[in-house]
Amino acid sequence: MLNHKWTIKIETERLILRRFEKEDYKEMFENWASDPEVTKYLTWPTHKNHYVTKDVIKEWIDNYFHKDYYQWAICLKEENELIGSISIMNIDENNYNCEVGYCISKKYWNRGITTEAFKSIIEFGFEKIGFERIAARHDVENTASGKVMEKCGLTYEGTLRKILKNNKGDLVDCKYYSILKEEYK
Give the tens place of pLDDT for each residue, 96-133: 999 999 999 999 999 999 999 999 999 999 999 999 99
Q: pLDDT band at 73, cuts 50/70/90?
A: very high
Lowest average pLDDT, out of 54-58, 74-78, 181-185, goes to 181-185
What domains does the chain contain, in order, with CATH numbers?
Answer: 10-183 (3.40.630.30)
In this prediction, residues 80-96 reach a mean pLDDT of: 97
10 closest CA partner among 104, 119, 147, 101: 119
Residue 64 CA to its chain's centroid (Å): 16
Dump the DSSP string for 133-159: EEEEEEETT-HHHHHHHHHTT-EEEEE
Of the chain, the percentage scoring pLDDT greater than 90 comes to 97
| pLDDT of 185 strictly over 90 | no
80 Cβ neighbours under 8 A, 6+ residues apart:
none
CB 99 within 8 A of CB 135: yes
Of the chain, the percentage scoring pLDDT greater than 70 comes to 100
- The predicted structure's pLDDT at residue 163: 96
Q: How many C-beta atoms lie closer than 10 Å to residue 185's C-beta? A: 8
